[in-house]
Every structure is written in structure tokens, then in C-alpha cells.
Amino acid sequence: MERATLYSKLSRLLVLVILFGGAVSFIVPFYVTLAMSLKSQSELATTSMWSWPREVTFQNYHTVLTNPMVSFASFLKNTAIITVISTIGTLFGCTVVAYGFARMSFAGRDRLFLVLLATMMLPGLLTMIPSYVIYAKIHWVNSFLPLTVPAFFGGGAFNIFLLRQFYLGLPKELDEAAFLDGASHWTIFHRIILPLSGPALATVGIFTFMGAWRDFMGPLLYLNDTEKQTLELGLRTYQSLNGTKWHLIMASTVLVSIPIIILFFIGQRYFVKGIVMTGLK
Amino acid sequence: MALKRFSILRFAMAATAVCACCIPAQVSAQTIHLTIRCWDGDDNIPPIYSAARSFEKEHPNIKVRVESVTDSYQEKLLSEVAAGIAPDVVHMDPGNIEKYAIRKALLPLNDFIAKSKYDIGAFYKNLIDAHTFHGLLYVLPRDIAPISAIYYNKRLFDEAKLPYPDGKWTWDFHERPELREHDFLWVIHQLSKEINGRVVRWGYAPSWQDLLWQQFSLSTGGRWADDYMHPMRMQYDDPKVMRAIQFAADLTLKYHWVPSATAISTVMQSSAKQAFAEQKIAMFQSGIWEVPFLRKELLKGKPGYFDWDIAMPPAYKDGTLHFPTGGSGYAIMSSTKHPWEAWLLTQWMGGVQGQYTLAATGMAQPAIQKLSRSAPWIPGPNSPVEERTPANRLMMDTSAPMVVFGPFGTEWAESSDFATRVFSKIWDGSAQAVDVIPEANKQGQQRLDYLRHEVKRPPFNWWIGGIVALALFSSLIVWVYWPERTIVRSPKERRENRAAYLFVMPWILGVVLFTAGPMLLSLLMSVADWDIIQPAKWRGLENFREAFFVDPRFWPSLKVTLVYTVFAVPLGVAASLALALLLNVKVRGIPVWRTCYYLPSVASGVAASMIWKRIFQPDGGLLNALIYGPDGHRNFLGLAGLLHPLAETNGQVNWLNNDHLALPALTIMSLWGAGGGMIILLAGLQGVPQYYYEAATLDGASVWHRFKSITVPLISPTLFFCVLTGFIGTFQSFTQALLMTDGGPNDATMFFGLHMYKSGFQALRMGYASALGWVLFFVVLAFTVLQLRMSKWVYYEGG
């Protein structure tokens, strides 16, 4: 018995060591970026990229933020607008639709659900070109519309699928009791089902939010003016303007990463819990 | 009820529309807004701003917005033309006029010039000719940019006891010491410096690799196209051209007097101008636009300052001298709402005022000959001290007649690449010019012929297309509802049916508008030739034939994608699983570990690409520092030895610039995102009941046995999900390649998606890109079906 505890203690230590080594290698790129962003141009040119700056300077951040051609504040604003709207759209769309698929019966439901599953498998690249053509022809290019409006129409097959699984897991007796009281589907949906789906919604919401926030291809295709660009695309614009000025590039990289990392820490606990709950397996 | 839901939708959509259009519209009736777009970056933009401000002062009713686009300038502009959102006035160079002119996207300037009696005769004649297409002038040139300035470091000339170059030097295919400072090769030999077999200073560098051989070739009478304005034949296999190419390579590889482009970018980690400013190169050749940079870098009194000037490049021994050139100006897009005001702006920015402002910075040589011979372009006794260098600027006027423009043409730009991509083998010494160029030239010629000989195609009939699309869509509806036709519903069921359709209506509309609609359009486009600017043409199955049998990038890009997918997905899932298993052990600080591993997956992709570019940097990059150690002599895990055959001249590998390592590098980078899969698998692991393990342990099952018999089957659905979505996603991935390598080197990271993206948005071949999309669709479909078939190993509880 004693030997067994020793054995398990040892193996735990081993796990800890491996975890530590792995974590270091995952985090090192962040450290290097931060370190480089805090060095002056001359120190960056002369010291190893591993080293912590001898003299911490915030000058690079100042230079980045005061660039006359790109405004990171407006990038942040644009990103926030697009992200919030498309997340709201997604949450609205996928809850309603998932309820329909999970709790109601209607003509052609199962086959429509098959269509939904098929669209999950569909390569998004296929629709990239024609979607651009359509948006170009209706003059939506260079506006937020292509990045926000589609979210209101169902909110993505995957999210619908996730929520439908979750709703299927809720006891059917809840609805039946309400039905006997004469409640309509809409009442059941927003009085009973919605209040119960908090964690699932949080998961879908956070994933959607993160996805929209980090989206690069969408803004690249649809946002042309610098002042309409998002953080992700704006970072690219800033970097192509500044070529090989690594001290500035790294400072802008850190700036753009800060909001999303803060967001991640706020929403952290929903990730694992939410996935378990929605029964994604 | 339904009404309430509907109003929420309407409100949300209205909110979207409001927010999307929240750029304030305070346009007063008289004010005209014009946008001017240029490609000058941070260093060169101030004079353009100031010219625009002075224009506004002159024309108070016009407000000018200056935009700077430094990344994919032409591609972006072309797609904006397609979307109808192009700026009013754009920066344009002769090589790109054709693709806009044939699409009628530019306004010819001839009428404006006649109307305002503008003196176009004052401009360099050859510059005007270069900006003319089919007899019409499309661009008002603002500058001519002969690549004829040899920047030289006076201090190093003094040290080597050499007289400053007076432009009377010549060159031959071998060094001629008897000519002394009149032999270019002798001079660069004197200026080069080697210590212990390691070059510490190079005598001369061209600003980019192709410049040197092009100058050699042009000066010895070698032409790599039959007609530089309308090239029909590709002639890289001309003996004179090949000799020039080989000689340029020899100067680097045999004589060590000229650094290769990779040596500049990797060993010195900079550009030729930067290396010149740091005195690692004694002379470098470029256009005059490097002046603002050098003035900023080399400030009198600051450490590292040295005197410098410019000189004429050497002529061939018979006195012939030609060099390539740049040159650009402003053009008016035909979509502008204010053509006359746009012309006023063009005339200002491209004409005397704009050129004057640019000339003062020393950055752009005026296109008007008179301005190119006087102050402020030519520094006089009254010019400010900081504007007197380079003193020899009159040289630029002398060199203007010696320039060679071109070869031009959209087809040339797309096809010459297939001939020139083998050059990298010549630069690194792995092949001789005469051995590889003839074959490559043939490939390029084939491509040129194919693009040039696109036959006249009939217009695409959208009516028939629409009917076909409608028929296909109807068949989907029939498939869904055919089984329902016999079902009889009670009134209650019918009510429920109606309510349910209200619930799922957003999705149904979404599928029709954003999935089925685009797919059907894509299907129609795949048999069309369409740039979405001009009317579409019927191309039938030619798009597919081109893909399978003609396009030299099709199979290689498919292969790159397959190889990447086959490695990256299993490795990624394995890494995710390993991490998830580790984190499923009850150790301290799980949330902290989880965060560490997951953080890279939430980091911005563009930021990640920048970080990893730096990690993969050959000299001083994180990865090479690990492998080779700080002094370059370590052999970490034997990796240095393993990678030795692929190493550059400095003994280390250049990950992203090596044909064999670029794709592995992207694969390594993809593993950084393993935390995403980890979270999902961790959720799966936590769903496995603990008592299964306890029971198995009591029965004496080993760790491996428990893993194999309990863990794997119970998380197999999650695992399967990761693999399946991993494959589907990875097949389409190309963002990182776009950001980090742009498909290079030598198409080693030309993913299928990237090829498709470039065909669609850079070449505006939307029809062909759609055809590629369908090919990808079927490849992904085949893989998905295959995996679903092979999914017997997946265990479904109770199923």
C-alpha cells in the first residue's frame, strides 16, 4: 500500500515536470514578444531576443498608438461593434432554431436537419468566392454588413447543432406541464428553456465572440478603408506599413492581444464546463 | 407571439444597419470629397500629405483623403474596382495600366489635357510613352525612377585609397585590374573584405536580386522578351540573358563580392539599404527613393555617420548601359463621381506642385524634365544642409534616357513567374543557368501562350443559368418534402407546424441566402470566365480542363495541402490528447496549466504569424538559437547535423525560406494551437465516470490497459469529432501561409486554398476560382465519407 502511494506520488511529480516543460514552451513566444516590445530599437538590434530589456521602455507603444495613419482605438471600436452584433445575432438565431428542431415537429424536419448537418461539413472556401460576388453586387463590400447580418440567420449550423443536443437533454416533462397550462411554444421557449440554457449559451456566446474577434479572412475580404478595419486586420495593415521595425511590430502585437486575453480570463470557466454540458462528444 | 419575435429580428437588423453606417455623414452640399490612394509607406507619405493639404487650400470646396496601402496594392485595388468602391485617384505604374484599361476602369486623360491645355510635352518622353496604352494616356506621371543610383560610402573609398566614382567606369565578365578604378569589378573587389574566410564587408549589392542580372543583360544586348510593351515570346533562354544571370550568381558564389538576397535578409537580417547604412556594404544600387531613409539613418554628428553620394552604374566595356526603371503617377478611376475635380487633384499631385514637394524630400525624381534639372531636386547653394546629399543628383537626369521599361502585360506578369522561379536554384549555386533556364522558359512560354490565346468566348447566358439553378434548388425542396405528401395533419399539428416554421425560419432563410444561393452561383461561375467587372463569358468545362491539365500550380498545391493535412491533423490531435490526458491527472494548479496551454489558441492569428516569423528567423531566431546555440556551434538533439544539408551559407537553416522546411515549419506552428483540441478532449475525458477506472484498477489493469480499454472507447466520439473537423478545417486552411510565406518559397506553401484565393481575388478569375472550389469540395467530401465509413472504432454509448 505504501509503495503504491509512493508510486502515484512519483508519477504525479513526473506529470508536473512534463506539464511545466510544455507550458514553458507554449508561453515562451508570448514572453519573447513582450520582451521585444519593451526594448528600444537599438537594444533590440544588439541583444538576444531571449533577454529581458535592460531598460524597460514604453516608447514603442507610444509610437504605435500615435501613428497618424492607423488608429488602434478605432480598430478596437470596429472590432467591438462587429463582434457584439454578430454574437447577439448568433445567440438569437441559434437558440430559436435549435428549439424548433429539438422540441417541435414539422413537415420535413428530419431531412432539413440532415441539410443542416451537411452544411456543417461544407467547406467554407466554396462559398467564399460567390459570397464576395453577391456582396459586391449589392454594394455591401467595405461595410460591416457582410460580417454581421448573416449571423442573424441561424447563427451557424454548428451552434444550432450544439444547442439542439443540449435541449434534447432537458426533460420533456417541463414542456408538457406547461402545455397543459395552455402555454405556447414561444412562452415555453423564453420562460422555461432559455433560463435553463445559461451555461450552454455562455459557451456558444464565448466561442462566437472569440471567433468573430479573431476573424481575419472576413475583414480582409470585406473591409477596405483603414478606418473601418478590425484589430486583426489593422494589425496586418500596421505591420505592412512598418516592414521590419520589429520593436513596433511586437508592441502592436501585444496591444492587439491584450483585450482577447482579458476576455479569455473572464470567460475561462465556461469553456470546459460549457462543453461538457452541451454534450459535445 | 410570432409578431413579437419578428419585431426583435427587425430591430436587430435595423441596429446592425445603423451601427454599420455610423461613419458620420456631415457632408455639406458644396464640399466635394476625393480620395487619393498611394503605395508609399510610413517613411515617404509626409510630402504627399502636404501636397494634398496645399491642394485643399487652393480648392477650399474639395476635401482630400490620402490613403496609403502598402500590402497587395494592385490586388486590393482590382477587387475594389470589382466591388465598385475604388478611390477617385490612384497611384499607378506602367506595368499595371493594362489590367485596368481593358476593364475600362481608368479614365483616359487626353480629353482633360486638351481641355485644360496642359503641357504634357514638358514630361520625359519615354515616361509618357510607358504610361500610354493603345494610344491613350492613362496616368499623369509624377516621377521617373531609373534604378541607376549607386549609393557609395565615401569613408570606405577613402580608407581603400580609391577615388570617388565619376561614372566613367565599365565592367567586363572578368576583373581587369589594369583599368584600376575604371573597372567596376576591381573596385568592388577592393572594397570587399574577408576575415578568416568570412565576408565582413561586401563591395556592392543590388537592392534586389534581379536588378543586377537585368542590368548586365540589358547592357550586353540581352532581352528576355521579344517586345517589352506587348510581349509574345519569352526569351530567358537567350544566351546573353543566361550569361548575365550566371555572372550575377558568380559574383556572389565565386567571388564573394556581392551578397545574395538571402545573405542580406538572413545573415544581416536587413535590407541592402540598412546594411549600407551600417557600413556592411560599401555600395548599393537602387532607385533614388532610398534617399529619405538614408537621410534619416545617417545624421551628421550621430555615431555611425559617414559621407555618401550617388554615382552612375558601370557601362559594359563597349560603353552600353541600360537599366530597369520604375516610374509612376496618378490615374483617375472611371467610377469617380467628380471626374473634373479628380483631374484637378491629379494635375496637382502629379503635376508641378506634387513633383516639387516630392523633389524637396529627395525621394522621387520629377517626371517633368525641367524640374529634374533644377532646385529643389538639384541641391543648390541655398538648399538646407540636410538636403544637399546626394550632391550628384543631376546624374539622374542623364540616366533617364537609358532606362528600359517593362516587360509589361497581365499575361506576362502571370506567366514569367514560371520561368523565373528556378532562378533561386542558380542563386544558391545548386544549378547552372544554362541547365535549368531553357526548360523553365519553355514552361513560362506555354503559360503565356495559354493565357494569350484565350479564344473568343460566347457571353454567359444568365437566364439559362438561373433556370438550371432554380431546377437544382427545386429538386432539393422536392427531396425534403416528397415523403411528406401523404401525411395528413390534424388542425393542432398544423398549428404546431406553422409555429415551428417561424422558429426555424431564420435558419431556412440563412441557408437559402448564404449557403444554397452562393453554392448555386458558384456552380454557374465554375463554367464561366468572369472578373465580375466585364460581362461573364461561357467557358464550359474549360475551367476544369485547365485545372487538371494546364495549370502548373493545380497539382502541386493539392499535394501541399494533402501533405500538410496528413501531418498536421494527426499530430495536432495526438498533441491535444496528450495534453488533455496530462491535465486530467489530479495535480495542483490545473486551471493555471489549462490556461497556459489554451492561451495560444485564443491569441490573434496575425499576432501569432508575426511572433512565429520571428521564431523561425534564421539568424537570432528562437528556434535556431535553440538548435545551434548562441554561438552557432551547438547541435541540439542532433538536429543541427540533421538539418545540415539544408543550411544556408551561415551554417543555419532558414525555415520559412527553404523549399523543404517551410511546410514543416507551418506544421510546427500549427501545434502551438493544440490547446483548442485539448479543451474539447478534456471535456470528453471528464465525462468518463471515475468508477470505471476504479473497478479496472481493482481488477489489476495496467495504466496502458485502462487507457486502451476505457479511455479511448469512451472518448472516441470526441476524438472522432476532433479528427473530422480537423481534416475539414485543415483542407481549407491557408491564412497562415498567406500571412507568413505568401505561398513561397517556390510554391512550397502554396496551399490549395491560397491558390484559389489568389486566382479569385488577385487575378480576378472568379470563374476559375469557383471551379477550384468545387474540386476542393469533392476532395473534402471524399475524405469525410471515407472517415465516416472507417468510423467503426468510434463507440457510441447505448448505440
pLDDT, one tens digit per residue, over B436-475 is 999 999 999 998 998 887 767 889 999 999 999 999 999 9
Q: Is the pTM of this model over 0.90?
A: no
pLDDT score of B9 more than 50: no
Residue in chain A closest to B278 (alpha carbons) equals A45
Q: Are A241 and B515 an interchain contact pair (Cβ–Cβ within 8 Å)?
A: no
Whole-number mean pLDDT of chain B? 87
Considering only CB atoms, B41 lies closest to which of A50, A101, A241, namely: A241
Task: Tell which residue, B688, B681, B619, has the closest CA to residue B655.
Answer: B619
Q: What pLDDT does A7 receive?
A: 76
A189 or B751, which is more confident? Answer: B751
Considering only CB atoms, A216 lies closest to which of B487, B735, B757, namely: B735
DSSP B123: B
Spatial distance between the Cα atoms of B233 and B448, rounded to a whole number of angstroms: 8
pLDDT score of B15 more than 60: no
Q: Are B496 and A111 an interchain contact pair (Cβ–Cβ within 8 Å)?
A: no
Q: Are B80 and A101 an interchain contact pair (Cβ–Cβ within 8 Å)?
A: no
Minimum distance, in Å, between the CA of residue A137 and any CA atom of chain B: 7
Provide, as residue numbers in chain A, all residues whose Cβ is less than 8 Å from the Cβ of B769.
129
Residue in chain B closest to A131 (alpha carbons) equals B518
Q: Are B501 and A106 an interchain contact pair (Cβ–Cβ within 8 Å)?
A: yes
Minimum distance, in Å, between the CA of residue B86 and any CA atom of chain A: 10
Residues B309-322: what's their mean pLDDT?
94
Considering only CB atoms, A241 lies closest to which of B15, B70, B756, namely: B70
Disruptive mutation site among B507, B529, B694, B724 for chain A (greatest number of A CBs within 10 Å) = B507
Residue in chain B closest to A64 (alpha carbons) equals B42
Counted across chains A and B, CB pairs separated by less than 8 A come out at 346
Collapsing DSSP to helix, strand or coil, B526 comes out as coil
Residue in chain A closest to B575 (alpha carbons) equals A22
Disruptive mutation site among B72, B503, B704, B797 for chain A (greatest number of A CBs within 10 Å) = B503
pLDDT band for A278, please (50, 70, 90 cuts): low
Considering only CB atoms, B532 lies closest to which of A128, A133, A155, namely: A133
Q: Are A106 and B686 an interchain contact pair (Cβ–Cβ within 8 Å)?
A: no
Hunting for cell 538559437 — which residue is that?
A: B625
Q: Identify the weakest region by mean pLDDT among A30-39, B281-290, B340-349, B485-494.
A: B485-494
- Assess contact for B140 and B346: CB atoms under 8 A: yes
Spatial distance between the Cα atoms of B182 and B173, rounded to a whole number of angstroms: 14
Q: What are phi and psi of B100, to 5 degrees?
A: -85, -40
Q: Are A150 and B774 an interchain contact pair (Cβ–Cβ within 8 Å)?
A: no
Spatial distance between the Cα atoms of B228 and B153, rounded to a whole number of angstroms: 35
Q: Identify the weakest region by mean pLDDT among A263-277, B61-75, B473-487.
A: A263-277
* Percentage above 90 pLDDT, chain B: 46
Q: Are A141 and B480 an interchain contact pair (Cβ–Cβ within 8 Å)?
A: no
Residues A109-117: what's their mean pLDDT?
90
Minimum distance, in Å, between the CA of residue A168 and any CA atom of chain B: 16
Rounded to 10 degrees, what is the CA torsion of B290, B296, B298, B304?
A: -120
Interface confidence, given as ipTM, is 0.91
Strand locations in B109-245, DSSP E? 132-133, 136-137, 140-146, 149-153, 170-171, 193-195, 198-206
At position B657, the amino acid (one-letter code) is N
pLDDT score of B377 more than 70: yes
Q: Are A148 and B83 an interchain contact pair (Cβ–Cβ within 8 Å)?
A: no
Minimum distance, in Å, between the CA of residue B635 and any CA atom of chain A: 19
Which grid coordinates are listed for B631?
554561438
pLDDT tens-digit map of B181-211: 999 999 999 999 888 877 889 999 998 889 9
B368 or B792, which is more confident? Answer: B368
Q: Are B756 and A261 an interchain contact pair (Cβ–Cβ within 8 Å)?
A: no
Q: Are A32 and B84 an interchain contact pair (Cβ–Cβ within 8 Å)?
A: no
Task: Give residue B629's region: left, alpha or beta (phi > 0; psi -120 to 50).
Answer: left
pLDDT score of B523 more than 90: yes
Considering only CB atoms, B19 lies closest to which of A85, A111, A123, namely: A85
Minimum distance, in Å, between the CA of residue A117 and any CA atom of chain B: 12
Q: Is B471 exposed, middle or buried (0-12, 13-18, 19+ CB in 10 A)?
A: exposed
Q: Are A152 and B13 an interchain contact pair (Cβ–Cβ within 8 Å)?
A: yes
Q: What pLDDT does B776 receive?
A: 93
Q: Are B12 and A143 an interchain contact pair (Cβ–Cβ within 8 Å)?
A: no
Q: Rounded to an integer, what is the distance from CA B134 to the centroid of its chain? A: 29
Q: Are B514 and A131 an interchain contact pair (Cβ–Cβ within 8 Å)?
A: yes
Q: Identify the weakest region by mean pLDDT among A63-67, A122-126, B263-267, B361-365.
A: B263-267
Provide, as residue numbers in chain A, all residues whose Cβ is less than 8 Å from the Cβ of B794.
none
